[in-house]
Structure 1
């Protein structure tokens, strides 16, 4: 049964809407990087009158009429989502529909409407022209009224809707009204793991064209067998809006070099003949272009072109349109994807269009920020998950150089295969595919078409693929639910482990294998990214992947006290909701890079550096597909104990793509201290400014250990150390330092230096971490709950005292109450420093441990941190490839990352030593034997664990110090069950580590000497 209401009838997709076409209203000029707009265009962005209605029943009669009184209406900014302005609430769900699913019907009582009104002026210079309204994006369905008359209807939230309004407007003042519905039958195809928000969220224009108009064109480029010379083919659609035939029409096309504006070939002239009234005509040109510069993400060469439509007999120019051309060829040969004859790898991300203050109304500045960040972090591709993006995004990708997997606005995730198999829904699917392809077909950055996302598999998708292959033979088609079926050109998977990916690559040889989603970046995640790329680089048919996803979808909100936080599902009283499952980004909502992004940059880098046979000899491999390494400056840096002691410019290395060469670094000329540790870091920086980063920006690096210092032991002074024992405690120390041990727990419960207490809480065993989102997803908090607050379960069974020239040694042997077959030993060697050794033996039947370490709470005065280990950003055992060993300084607050949902944060690995210091010259120095992990927080573990948002995390006047042997990995294959890889899990067994604590005065005054 079909509804009489348009917005719940899947057979009614539009009324009076123009056919789709390519974007021609603006372009990004490749010559100067400036935007150029159609000369007969008026933006209708800005303030509109607005009224929100809870459903269609309360929409006021005649609100669209010219004389309707809207003085009581509020104003709203267009483009925007109305929920951002407080009208209704945003709802976040992953799969569940926010209404009771019964396609194509919508719960009419709960379907809000937004009414918009504004006036606009048609200038007299537009008299005699055709006039159109252009809506770049309206969610989800809307009616358009001009001067009190209904002009049309459209749905599909992410593709332009244009209406010819020539017969409805007049020169001078006109009234425009829009009636927008939050949900419609099309919403069943927009279940896209994002906030459900509504409104006019992209640009609105009114524009005019001549009566004889170049309505559309399709640019195709092909390359010869040597990938040198090109054939340019342009199919052009002319339309005649006149009431009589138009004769004697000609077209002239000029292709210009973007550097100097010079023609790259002779003008192309074409006779367009006669076009009957009200009809269209397709005319085609083909032209050979000798050896044009090719377009790729590495070399985004664009040419500027112009089409002129004119009358042959008098050379009168009727219309002129400018556009960009990128010469490139996409192929799949022997299961490998080639661009311009060269293999490429997709080093990509998935990107939702999202802004924390504007919802899905993305500004041009925000787009530029995104594309520059992607380039800076070695990302070369973006999947427009899960819908066509704002048209301006594609011009930026063309210009800056990003590959685009352009995805149709189709996701019926909550419906399974139902709509994919229903022939009655074919037109609804096909409408979205055709509008995407027709709009974006001329962008060289678009190298893959995606049929949509997670909408099941069925005959409708076979039909969609067939249509694309018939319309555009220059690009392959991807659709993950299709699996290995022949209607797709790329076999795609989601969230497969590196091991599984390797198996698939060996089974599937005829097509590229692609991870359209992988490395789920929810919260503190993206472990084992290197392991993925070790596999991807190994197999030719592995195309690469797109990390899920680019930016956390958190909405800026304030609590009752005025503190800001990032809101996620449920924070607006929205039901149903999926909580913080929208917080999966490599960036915070405001585009602050998260620590994972540094790992991505390192793993995605194109230059491979490895040690060769001789000392100081290194093999450099250029893994770019199109550029020589002479675009970069190469340096090497020698570090002694983490400090740079020498940095020398090697210069530019002339190395073609796919080639390797050895370089020699004069290691033998360096004088090494046998009591120091040395590293060499080889790095590459931009040799000149680019449009996305300045000269000197580091693009690739690798670090190698040269010499490790000899293991030496200098006994600390034990002079003056006294030991005293009471019933519950043991006292040890000298005039400077005094320590109290608890005989029941074995922990240090007091540490005084010069009679000043440094500890607020004991140095005690800690095997727990504030669960990450991945931990929650794999049920670690329940499975490993036995390790929570382990210090409360630690009981001493035996104490031994040993006295020697090196000081006193206290040995506490113990067990964990209510945990069978476990034991531990804490050994303290006391002199004018404290050496701590922890041994634990955990029975094999017990669950894995989140961490093994000792935690202490120090005075809040110790607000400065230094360390010699990996940094500067946080790093973990399975996410440390992008963190070089060095000497770093920070503050306690600077050591943590403020994840949208607070969780484990701030770890540093491979740490030789770290210190915390105060303003009075007192430093607590901790040295690993040989290395440890550590973190410091200005709050306590229980605070971190119970907070749901950053505003709930209270910073206290204390410093929590975690001195860890190890912490388990983060994982990231997915966030709903996958564990970290086995090599990064702390399985039950025997563990042992040690470190030394020293309390020093004026440590940093002699920092260089020390």
Structure 2
């Protein structure tokens, strides 16, 4: 799109004489960017550790004398490096999604500009450093730094999540070297780093001194392509200065710049085959791990090694609840292992290049990577993109610097299959310049950018949060046309990905299964990346985990920062468990009654030789037989049908299901043998409708009622703390509340406006017959004539009491209901739950793929899902019966007809809806039990589409029943 041009007088625009932290240049003094590598035989001295630190309120509050080697900093405090100073008692972090937390007046920043001065003293470890050059390397500093070594200024730099190096050999001395840094929170670079995150300044990645002996590697570029037709790889390593490359396993010994073609096994995310090699120059030996693969867009499809790939991806910010973006190697490794264990095969590095060690892990474990530049200018969107830096030529050198530092650092990683120009920057000449530079430097990888619908600068069509219907149209190459016919034809010929979809905020996301079926149906649709990997809740002594506003920020975006598939402590959420099920790379289907199963290999490259298959036959949730299933090593896309054996005990009466599982056949770097990859359940014998039992006088039921109100008082001697009542309210989820910019109706707002959180019950009648008690109530919110007329019909069931609930809506309901069922309160001692139904975790109508039928146990406390921002959670689906018992085994059993949704918690729905942090929820002396006939779906409307129509709970005439009985001794 066209953006308004800046028509302000030049005198108010960037001009010479600005301080370095406001100048639009990327800085000065640093060396050209080059490839990163984890190790070599050249010496390396880590400067991580405790540094001296002081904080000033402005950029100019202190002079530069602290950089002199003789300056006395003994009175300063200490700060670990890497770290963010706001997480160590110096100021506070602040969260915004889109808006800049300072006036938008580029390139100027506020006078109030927290500035941290840092000093560290170090000795050279040996005399070897006295020959050759040395380089100071900074992996990441936010947002602008000025650097001195032994009193000599080295330069300045911006680009927070990108490396910068300085030549320092002539300045080093054997002992007492003093490195001084001044780091500003705000700079012109901040305008390029508006990336939906906590604003946290500091030296948050590694700092190191690298010895560069004479003849050491200045830079190198590994070109390792794969010809899928010939089964060969072609290797060439460019290097300055020249040297040799040896690959012992392939028998290669090449001069740099020389090519060789040999038979190889290709690299892919599914089979991450790497070859150990050594790059040797006159002064250095660098270990290489080479993966042969070719990425191309052919016939409108993104292919690797000649095959279409399907991204089952996540967006990943770097985050740790105690350390912010200062993420250590073991945490990175844990992320990668968790991704692999949950069938995730791709990462978009939103919205900046990650710590380079993360990409090494992606190479080794196998993950496709979209490597995204450290660039976002989203805060200009509310201003109509006026003065957007990416459309201002004066900022182009800074943009090109960021593109170059990403590409040069990461160019040797086979995991990186696309370069991304950045995120949510609008459009402009600067982006085109970046795309042109990247294509010239590395034509082997396609280019991604979502923010330009014309796709003028990219090779793939990318969108965020397109709903299911639009995604299907795109899959059919029938999307709405662009005005320009040539651009429209070019875009329509591109592959499509959802670079963000399925917003994982709070309870959800819903609709994943429907998206995945579209991705698998249409060749053009090549998957997507769930937003996002982890909740960014910062550890907080009062709130447990803090979000926007918890540190006193005046401008913030609340708990929108908590939108991940992992909780802040890296515990998988139900959303991640659901996603794992939805994106299973092996499809297991079949007909349980016919005892047949169909196995389909959904991998793009791997066969099924790495998996073992097994079956279990269960009756009423109890296993009666199990065994192995012989599945041949089917190739990608291949399928076959198998007959399941007839198990001993198959004639046992009751509901019966087959469970068929695919597990790892051997240990992998990311999981042990036996780890479950895919599963399904097939109904062998369907559930019979529960028998009502003998019908006698209600007095023989063991239940007591208040005949004035018809309320249940006790069952079998178990007292009701609160009798069963019709319930329609739930604590709205983040997706119920929706996002302001979403066009769909935000049901949380509608429900509150209608008053569903404060419905009133009017007793209409109580009628007692010889064999039944019938209570009619009208349930309605104030100020409207809408209502639900409920009839509770109680009868005896021998040792219990049966309740049939009939609901008749009155009026024209404008919205779906949050839930429809009964709520009751039982004594707090009944804290042990057992049920036969869906589990082990929570599920809702559009998040139930991972819910499997079985017998499950839990404490009531463990039934809760600990979302950072409290909301509706913890429902179990398809429940046939559920029990709550105390430690002595006494309690209540509920059986449903049909199956029901079961929720139990130690606080009311109203308490849950009023809470803002986990510690706000305090257990009371009652367990509140929801027995729901139906519940509303979840959707993804916190940033994406709402609940699909088939998962909405419409107000309609309904009937359902429960049987309640006491269990254990009275």
Normalising by structure 2, what TM-score?
A: 0.93
Match of 2:7 in 1: none
Match of 1:285 in 2: 258
Shift in Å, 1:718: 3.1
Match of 2:325 in 1: 360
Q: Secondary structure at the match of 2:506?
A: coil
Shift in Å, 1:372: 0.2
- Post-superposition CA distance 1:662-720 (Å, at most 9, x none): 1110237653234x00011110110000100000111100111111144352524636x
1:815 and 1:223 map into 2 onto residues whose CA distance is 68
Could you tell me which of 704, 707, 718 is aligned with 1:738? 704
- Post-superposition CA distance 1:967-1005 (Å, at most 9, x none): 100111x315743111111223222221111112269xx
**Conserved 8 A contact 1:227-1:341:** no
**Conserved 8 A contact 1:799-1:813:** no
1:427 and 1:191 map into 2 onto residues whose CA distance is 19
- Post-superposition CA distance 1:597-636 (Å, at most 9, x none): 1111111111111226981121111011121112111001
- Give matches, 1:280-319, under 5 Å: 284-289=257-262, 291-310=263-282, 318-319=283-284
Residue 663 of structure 2 corresponds to residue 702 of structure 1: no
Which consecutive segments of 4 or more residues in structure 1 shift more than 6 A? none
1:657 and 1:940 map into 2 onto residues whose CA distance is 50
1:880–1:58: structure 2 CA closer, same or farther, 3 Å change rule? same
Q: Please provide the CA RMSD for this pair.
A: 1.9
- Give matches, 1:774-793, under 5 Å: 774-777=735-738, 779-785=746-752, 788=755, 793=760
Pairs aligned (count)? 928
Residue 72 of structure 2 corresponds to residue 111 of structure 1: no
**Conserved 8 A contact 1:554-1:589:** yes
- Post-superposition CA distance 1:824-873 (Å, at most 9, x none): 23233232422222222222243321111111111001001111111100
Could you tell me which of 396, 401, 421 is aligned with 1:426? 396
Residue 335 of structure 2 corresponds to residue 373 of structure 1: no
2:442 and 2:612 map into 1 onto residues whose CA distance is 41
Shift in Å, 1:223: 2.4
- Post-superposition CA distance 1:501-525 (Å, at most 9, x none): 0111222651110000000001111
1:582 and 1:693 map into 2 onto residues whose CA distance is 30
Q: Which of 615-624 and 483-492 deviates more?
A: 483-492
- Give matches, 1:420-499, under 5 Å: 420-499=390-469
1:382 and 1:990 map into 2 onto residues whose CA distance is 46
Could you tell me which of 308, 312, 332 is aligned with 1:347? 312
Could you tell me which of 803, 818, 825 is aligned with 1:836? 803
Q: Secondary structure at the match of 2:560?
A: coil
Could you tell me which of 648, 653, 664 is aligned with 1:686? 664
Shift in Å, 1:470: 1.1
**Conserved 8 A contact 2:592-2:657:** no
Q: Which of 181-190 and 207-216 deviates more?
A: 207-216
1:937–1:212: structure 2 CA closer, same or farther, 3 Å change rule? same
**Conserved 8 A contact 1:683-1:698:** yes
2:509 and 2:280 map into 1 onto residues whose CA distance is 51
Residue 854 of structure 2 corresponds to residue 886 of structure 1: yes
Q: Secondary structure at the match of 1:111?
A: strand
2:40 and 2:134 map into 1 onto residues whose CA distance is 16
Could you tell me which of 770, 781, 790 is aligned with 2:731? 770
Match of 1:500 in 2: 470
Match of 2:714 in 1: 751
**Conserved 8 A contact 2:227-2:294:** no
Could you tell me which of 567, 573, 584 is aligned with 2:563? 584
1:816–1:577: structure 2 CA closer, same or farther, 3 Å change rule? closer
**Conserved 8 A contact 1:46-1:78:** yes
- Post-superposition CA distance 1:896-935 (Å, at most 9, x none): 1110011001101111111111123222111111211110
1:849 and 1:488 map into 2 onto residues whose CA distance is 44
Match of 2:767 in 1: 800
User: Unpaired runs of 5+ in structure 2?
Assistant: 1-13, 478-490, 739-744
1:195 and 1:613 map into 2 onto residues whose CA distance is 50
Residue 538 of structure 2 corresponds to residue 555 of structure 1: yes
Match of 2:507 in 1: 524
Q: Secondary structure at the match of 2:251?
A: coil
Match of 1:994 in 2: 961
Normalising by structure 1, what TM-score?
A: 0.89
Match of 1:671 in 2: 650
Residue 183 of structure 2 corresponds to residue 222 of structure 1: no
Shift in Å, 1:752: 5.0
Match of 2:178 in 1: 175
Residue 526 of structure 2 corresponds to residue 513 of structure 1: no
- Post-superposition CA distance 1:703-746 (Å, at most 9, x none): 11111144352524636x44xxxxxxxxxx66x54232553xx5
Match of 1:244 in 2: none
1:790 and 1:170 map into 2 onto residues whose CA distance is 71
Match of 1:22 in 2: 35
1:366 and 1:714 map into 2 onto residues whose CA distance is 55
**Conserved 8 A contact 2:21-2:184:** no
Match of 1:404 in 2: 369
Match of 2:4 in 1: none
2:571 and 2:690 map into 1 onto residues whose CA distance is 43
2:646 and 2:425 map into 1 onto residues whose CA distance is 58
Could you tell me which of 80, 84, 91 is aligned with 1:77? 80
**Conserved 8 A contact 1:612-1:662:** no
Q: Secondary structure at the match of 2:558?
A: coil
User: Unpaired runs of 5+ in structure 1?
Assistant: 27-35, 239-249, 258-263, 271-282, 311-317, 723-732, 1004-1010
Match of 2:379 in 1: 414
1:338–1:815: structure 2 CA closer, same or farther, 3 Å change rule? closer
**Conserved 8 A contact 1:143-1:154:** yes
1:648–1:981: structure 2 CA closer, same or farther, 3 Å change rule? same
Match of 1:30 in 2: none
Q: Secondary structure at the match of 1:151?
A: strand
1:965–1:538: structure 2 CA closer, same or farther, 3 Å change rule? same
Q: Secondary structure at the match of 1:63?
A: helix
1:653 and 1:890 map into 2 onto residues whose CA distance is 38
- Post-superposition CA distance 1:377-416 (Å, at most 9, x none): 0000000000010010000000011111000001000113
Shift in Å, 1:768: 0.5
Q: Secondary structure at the match of 1:102?
A: coil
2:340 and 2:494 map into 1 onto residues whose CA distance is 28
1:822 and 1:992 map into 2 onto residues whose CA distance is 16
Match of 1:895 in 2: 863
1:584 and 1:623 map into 2 onto residues whose CA distance is 28
**Conserved 8 A contact 1:10-1:428:** no
Match of 1:166 in 2: 169
- Post-superposition CA distance 1:313-349 (Å, at most 9, x none): xxxxx32222111011111111111111121100000
Match of 1:140 in 2: 143
Match of 2:484 in 1: none
Match of 2:942 in 1: 975
2:40 and 2:538 map into 1 onto residues whose CA distance is 32
Residue 629 of structure 2 corresponds to residue 661 of structure 1: no
**Conserved 8 A contact 1:767-1:787:** no
1:490 and 1:582 map into 2 onto residues whose CA distance is 28
Match of 1:725 in 2: none
1:544–1:97: structure 2 CA closer, same or farther, 3 Å change rule? same
Match of 2:742 in 1: none
Q: Secondary structure at the match of 1:112?
A: strand
1:789 and 1:761 map into 2 onto residues whose CA distance is 20
**Conserved 8 A contact 1:936-1:961:** yes
1:977–1:118: structure 2 CA closer, same or farther, 3 Å change rule? closer
1:791 and 1:157 map into 2 onto residues whose CA distance is 49
